C-alpha cells in the first residue's frame, strides 16, 4: 500500500501526517528523519488497527503541486 504523507517544515523541525490514517503523525529535526519515523508510524498504526479488529482505511488521498503567479 502507498499512503500520501504530508510533510510540513516548521522553524526548527519537520512534521508529517497521513490524511488517510487520522492520528498517524511524526515529528523530527530533519526531513529524512521525519520520513523514516512516519513510515514506522504507518506500519504501527496499521498493525494496531488490525489487532483491535478495526478496518484499515485504504489509501485514497492524492496530492498535486500547483504553480500560481503571486498577485
Q: Where are the domains of the chain?
A: 1-71
Residue-averaged pLDDT of the chain: 96
Confidence of residue 28 (pLDDT cuts 50, 70, 90): very high
Map residue 28 onto helix, strand or coil.
strand
Q: Name which CATH class applies to 1-71.
A: alpha beta
Confidence of residue 70 (pLDDT cuts 50, 70, 90): confident
Name the region of 68 (left: φ>0; alpha: ψ -120 to 50; beta: rest).
beta
User: Is the whole model's pTM more than 0.85, yes or no?
Assistant: yes
pLDDT for residue 71 is more than 90: no
Amino acid at each position: 500500500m502507498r499512503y500520501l504523507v504530508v510533510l510540513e517544515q516548521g522553524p526548527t523541525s519537520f512534521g508529517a501526517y497521513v490524511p488517510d490514517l487520522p492520528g498517524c503523525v511524526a515529528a523530527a529535526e530533519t526531513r529524512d528523519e521525519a520520513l523514516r519515523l512516519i513510515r514506522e508510524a504507518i506500519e504501527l498504526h496499521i498493525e494496531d488497527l488490525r489487532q483491535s479488529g478495526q478496518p484499515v482505511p485504504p489509501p485514497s488521498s492524492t496530492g498535486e503541486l500547483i504553480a500560481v503567479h503571486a498577485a
